[in-house]
C-alpha cells in the first residue's frame, strides 16, 4: 500500500499489489490476545485469515477486536459438536497454517489436533500457542500476562530496585508471544513452500517472554554473579522530571554524547569519566535532576537533540499517538468500522518498500462469513440453515 496523510497527520492505508503472504490461508482457532495479534500481523502481510469463534461470541466488538481482528473473516463453530469439528477439519484441509491456544490436551479431545489434521493436509503448519507449553510440570497451569512476565524474571528486571515490582500497564508477554508465533509460522511456511511439508510448533508464552532477557541477562556462570546491564545504574541513563511536570528519558552513555551533554550543562568535567562510586553517582544524579527541572521537556529535547544526545519524552500511550516520528512512519492509522465508527489504531511496523503495507478489511462481527466459508466446503443453503438451528454455527 501507499501511505497517505489523513486529517491530523495519521496515515490512510491503500492496497498494494502482491503482498508477501498473498495466497496463504491461516486458521485462527479462537485464540486470545497473543494469537489474535499474530494473525493480525499475518493478515496485514496479505494472508487470508479465518477466525473460528464460539457461537456465543455475539455481535459485540471490543477495542481489541477492532485492532487485532482487522483483515480477517469469521465463522462461529461449536467445537464440542461433531459437526463443528468436521467443519474445522474441512477448513484446515484448505489452509496453509493453523494457530490454536487451548490448554494442552484439549485439541486432541476435540479431534482437531495436529496429528488428526495433518492426515487431511500433510502440508499444514500447526502452531500451539499456550501459556507454559505442551510439556513440563507446569504445562496445564492457568496464567495471564502478569504471571508470565513475573515467572520469567522480566518483571523484576524492569523494576530494578523498586520493590514490590509495579504491575505493568502493557501486556508484554501477550505482545512478544504473538510476534514470536508470527516469526515461527512464517519460517515454517518457507519450509512448506520449498519442501511441501508441514510441521508442528509448540510455543509457550513463558518461553517467549523469557527469551527477551537474552540481550540483558542471558548468561549465568557457576560461582559468579550474573552480569547486569551497565547503563541501568548510570545517572546518564535515567529518567528526569522537567519544569512542566513531564519526564525525559536520557541515554547519554556514548562518550561523545556524554561529553556534549556535560558541556551544554556547564559541567564539562563530569563527562570525562563515569562516576567511580555510589557517592559520585548520587551527586551526579542530584545535579542532573536539579538541572533538568529548570526547563520544559520540549526545550531540553530541542537543545540536546541538536547536540546528538540521546533524549526522548516519556510519553503515555495516548501521547505516543501524536508522536511526529510515529506519524511520519505511518504507525498511526485512521480507520473506520461500519458498527464502531471512526477511530485511530496502531499500524504494522513491517514495511515492504516501495509498496508499503497491506490494507485490510474491518474487524468482522463473529460468524459473519460463515455462509461463504461453508459453501466453499460444499455445504448447501439447507445444510447451513440446519447447522444454525442446531447451534453448531
Local confidence pLDDT in tens for the 393 residues of the chain? 334 444 456 765 555 567 899 999 999 998 999 999 999 999 999 999 999 999 986 677 899 999 999 999 999 999 999 999 999 999 999 999 999 999 999 999 999 999 999 999 999 999 999 999 999 999 999 999 999 999 999 999 999 889 999 999 999 999 999 999 999 999 999 999 999 999 999 999 999 999 999 998 998 888 877 666 555 568 999 999 999 999 999 999 999 999 999 999 999 999 998 888 889 999 999 999 999 999 999 999 999 999 999 999 999 999 999 999 999 999 999 999 998 999 999 998 887 766 555 567 889 999 999 999 999 999 999 999 999 999 999
4 in Cβ contact with 15 (< 8 Å)? no
Length of the chain: 393
CB atoms within 10 A of CB 62: 11
215 in Cβ contact with 157 (< 8 Å)? no
Q: Are residues 246 and 142 in the same domain?
A: no
Q: Are residues 273 and 313 in the same domain?
A: yes
**Residue where one domain finishes, among candidates 272, 291, 320:** 320
Residue 220 lies in a domain: no
Bridge partners of residue 75, in order along the sequence: 52
Q: Are residues 308 and 376 in the same domain?
A: no
Instruction: Spell out the alpha helix ranges (H) of 153-293.
Output: 154-159, 172-195, 205-211, 214-217, 255-264, 278-292
- Give the CATH number for residue 305: 3.30.1540.10
Residue among 46, 98, 54, 96 nearest 72 (CA): 46
Residue 222 lies in a domain: no
Q: Are residues 207 and 244 in the same domain?
A: no
**Residue where one domain finishes, among candidates 289, 320, 351:** 320
Q: Kindly state the cell numbers that stand for 295.
A: 526547563
Q: Are residues 194 and 75 in the same domain?
A: yes
Residue span of the structural domain in which 257 resides: 230-320
**pTM: predicted TM-score of the whole model, two decimal places:** 0.88
Residue 225 lies in a domain: no
What pLDDT sits at residue 252? 95
Beta strands in 61-176 (DSSP E): 72-76, 97-100, 125-130
Q: Which residues fall within 8 angstroms of residue 79, CB to CB, at 6 or more apart?
A: 30, 52, 54, 85, 88, 110, 112
Q: Are residues 180 and 48 in the same domain?
A: yes
Residue among 338, 266, 387, 255 nearest 66 (CA): 338
Residue 332 lies in a domain: no
Q: Are residues 303 and 368 in the same domain?
A: no
| Burial of 316 from C-beta contacts in 10 A (0-12 / 13-18 / 19+) | exposed
Residue 284 lies in a domain: yes
Distance CA 302, CA 323 (A): 15
Does residue 29 sit in helix, strand or coil? strand
Residue 331 lies in a domain: no
- Give the CATH number for residue 356: 3.40.50.10540
Q: Are residues 312 and 258 in the same domain?
A: yes
**Residue where one domain finishes, among candidates 292, 320, 348:** 320
Q: Are residues 105 and 203 in the same domain?
A: yes
Q: Are residues 281 and 374 in the same domain?
A: no
Distance CA 309, CA 131 (A): 41
Residue 369 lies in a domain: yes
Residue 204 lies in a domain: yes
Q: Are residues 381 and 292 in the same domain?
A: no
Number of domains in the chain: 2
Distance CA 126, CA 188 (A): 9
29 in Cβ contact with 99 (< 8 Å)? yes
Q: Are residues 193 and 115 in the same domain?
A: yes
Cell 528526569 identifies what position? 240
Amino acid at each position: 500500500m501507499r501511505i497517505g496523510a489523513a486529517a491530523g497527520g495519521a496515515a490512510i492505508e491503500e492496497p498494494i499489489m502482491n503482498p508477501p503472504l498473498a495466497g496463504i490461508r491461516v486458521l485462527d482457532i479462537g485464540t486470545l490476545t497473543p494469537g489474535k495479534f499474530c494473525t493480525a500481523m499475518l493478515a496485514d502481510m496479505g494472508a487470508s485469515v479465518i477466525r473460528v469463534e464460539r457461537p456465543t461470541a455475539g455481535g459485540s466488538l471490543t477495542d481489541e477486536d477492532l485492532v487485532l481482528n482487522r483483515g480477517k473473516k469469521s465463522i462461529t463453530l461449536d467445537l464440542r459438536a461433531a459437526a463443528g469439528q468436521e467443519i474445522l477439519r474441512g477448513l484446515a484441509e484448505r489452509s496453509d497454517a493453523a494457530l490454536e491456544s487451548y490448554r494442552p490436551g484439549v485439541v486432541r479431545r476435540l479431534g482437531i489436533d495436529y496429528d488428526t489434521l495433518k492426515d487431511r493436509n500433510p502440508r499444514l503448519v500447526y502452531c500451539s500457542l499456550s501459556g507454559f507449553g505442551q510439556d513440563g510440570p507446569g504445562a496445564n497451569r492457568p496464567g495471564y500476562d502478569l504471571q508470565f512476565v513475573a515467572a520469567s524474571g522480566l518483571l523484576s528486571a524492569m523494576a530494578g530496585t523498586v520493590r514490590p515490582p509495579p504491575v505493568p500497564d502493557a501486556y508484554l508477554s501477550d505482545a512478544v508471544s504473538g510476534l514470536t508465533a508470527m516469526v515461527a509460522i512464517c519460517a515454517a511456511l518457507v519450509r512448506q513452500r520449498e519442501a511441501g511439508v508441514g510441521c508442528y510448533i509448540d510455543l509457550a508464552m513463558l518461553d517467549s517472554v523469557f527469551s527477551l532477557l537474552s540481550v540483558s541477562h542471558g548468561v549465568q556462570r557457576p560461582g559468579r554473579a550474573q552480569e547486569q546491564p551497565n547503563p541501568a545504574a548510570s545517572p546518564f541513563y535515567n529518567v528526569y522530571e522537567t519544569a512542566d511536570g513531564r519526564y525525559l528519558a536520557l541515554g547519554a552513555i556514548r562518550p561523545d554524547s556524554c561529553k556534549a551533554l556535560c558541556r551544554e550543562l556547564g559541567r564539562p568535567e563530569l563527562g570525562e569519566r563515569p562516576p567511580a562510586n555510589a557517592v559520585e553517582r548520587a551527586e551526579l544524579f542530584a545535579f542532573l535532576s536539579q538541572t533538568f527541572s529548570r526547563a520544559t521537556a520540549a526545550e531540553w529535547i530541542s537543545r540536546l537533540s541538536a547536540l546528538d544526545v540521546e533524549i526522548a519524552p516519556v510519553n503515555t500511550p495516548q501521547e505516543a499517538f501524536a508522536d511526529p516520528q510515529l506519524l511520519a512512519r505511518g504507525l498511526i492509522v485512521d480507520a473506520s468500522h461500519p458498527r464502531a465508527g471512526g477511530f485511530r489504531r496502531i499500524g504494522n511496523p513491517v514495511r515492504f518498500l516501495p509498496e508499503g503495507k497491506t490494507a485490510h478489511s474491518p474487524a468482522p462481527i463473529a460468524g459473519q462469513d460463515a455462509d461463504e466459508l461453508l459453501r466453499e466446503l460444499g455445504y448447501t443453503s439447507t445444510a447451513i440453515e440446519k447447522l444454525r438451528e442446531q447451534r453448531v454455527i
